[in-house]
């Protein structure tokens, strides 16, 4: 059981990183919010989504997005590679989150492509409160206890650069927005 202080710290740190934070919500409510946000952000473009992400499966997010009027680009679609560049939003489920830094841990795998969180202009991510850890050290330990995936991305906010006169500018290569929905 994750303590309330860890959840609170995660919400604060994620918001400080420039993510839009939602929840914590019960699973059904969380699924509705994820779908709503993804559909709103994607506009008329497709929504990229993994097909083996346990959290996405458990929340029934593919159905939820379809009900909310979104058009899916699922990771098992034959045109994924051709279409991912045109997708309007990517939806992921995080393996864990780090409270100290507001970080999401996103592993890849079969049915769980690495482009989902970074290629579309908007990223919507669900994370279970129970999967939050306190520190970077905890996250490193957690990762060591799993089998290392071929790629693990830690995401701590929208894509940003300070290369122009050292001023923070958002959305250089990756998503301009990151929405995080915490599931209680």
Partner 1 sequence: MSHRVVTAGDTLAERAASAVADPDLQHALRNLDRRLFTSRDVAEDFPELKDRAAAIRRETLADLPGWLDRAETTLAGLGVHVHRAASPEDARRIIIEIARNEGLTRAVKSKSMATEEIDLADALEDAGIEAVETDLGEYIVQVAGERPSHMIVPAIHKTLAQVADVLQTRADDELPVEHEAITAWARGHLRARFLEADLGVTGANFVAADTGTIVLVTNEGNGDLCTIVPRVQVAVVPVEKVIARFADLATLLPLLTMSATGQRISNYVTMINGPRREGEIDGPEILHVVLLDHGRLRLIGTAYEDMLACIRCGACLNVCPVFRRISGHAYDAVYSGPMGKVLTPLLSLDGTEGRDLPEASTLCGACTEACPVEIPLADLLVRLRADLRRPGPVDPLPSPPARAEPGHRRRPGEGFESPGLHLPLASRPAPRSNRRTAFTVWASLWSSPGGYAASARLTRLAARALRGRDQGWTRRSGGRVPALRAWTETRDAPLPAPQSFRARWETRVRGDAQW
> Given the complex with partner 1, which of 17 and 181 has the nearer CB atom?
17
- Please state the closest distance from residue 29 (CB atom) to partner 1, in A: 28
The residues, any chain, with a CB within 8 Å of residue 141's CB and separated by 6 or more, are none
Number of Cα atoms under 13 Å in the Cβ half of residue 8: 3
Work out the burial of residue 81: count CB atoms within 10 Å of its CB; fewer than 13 is exposed, 13-18 middle, 19 or more buried. Answer: exposed
List interacting residues with partner 1 (CB under 8 A): 17, 75, 80-81, 85, 98, 100-101, 103, 108-111, 113-115, 117-119, 135-137, 140-141, 143-144, 148-167, 169-175
Q: How far is the CB of 139 from partner 1 (least distance, A)?
A: 8
Q: What does the DSSP assignment read for 38-105?
A: HHHHHTTS-EEE-SS-HHHHHHTHHHHHHHTTPPEEETT-TTHHHHGGG-SEEEEE-SEEETTTTEEE
Least separation, in Å, of the C-beta of 166 and partner 1?
4
Shortest Å distance, C-beta 114 to partner 1: 5
44 vs 163 by CB, closer to partner 1: 163
| Closest approach of partner 1 to the CB of residue 8, in Å | 17
Enumerate residues 6+ apart whose C-beta is below 8 A from 99: 6, 7, 9, 10, 13, 132, 133, 134, 135
Q: Which is nearer to partner 1, 11 or 33 (CB)?
A: 11
Q: Which is nearer to partner 1, 68 or 132 (CB)?
A: 132
The smaller minimum CB distance to partner 1, of residues 37 and 95, is found at 95
């Amino acid at each position: 059981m994750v303590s309330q202080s860890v959840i609170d710290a995660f919400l604060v740190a994620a918001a400080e990183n420039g993510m839009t934070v939602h929840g914590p919500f019960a699973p059904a409510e969380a699924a509705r919010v994820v779908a709503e946000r993804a559909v709103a952000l994607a506009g008329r473009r497709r929504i990229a989504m993994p097909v083996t992400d346990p959290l996405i499966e458990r929340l029934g997010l593919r159905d939820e997005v379809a009900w909310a009027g979104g058009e899916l680009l699922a990771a098992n679609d034959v045109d994924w590679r051709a279409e991912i560049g045109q997708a309007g939003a990517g939806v992921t489920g995080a393996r864990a989150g780090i409270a100290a830094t507001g970080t999401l841990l996103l592993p890849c795998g079969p049915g769980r492509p690495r482009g989902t969180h970074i290629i579309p202009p908007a990223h919507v991510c669900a994370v279970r409160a129970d999967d939050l850890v306190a520190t970077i050290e905890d996250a490193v330990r957690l990762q060591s206890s799993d089998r290392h995936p071929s790629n693990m991305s830690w995401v701590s906010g929208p894509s940003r650069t300070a290369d122009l006169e050292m001023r923070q500018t958002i959305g250089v290569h990756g998503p301009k927005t990151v929405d995080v929905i915490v599931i209680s």
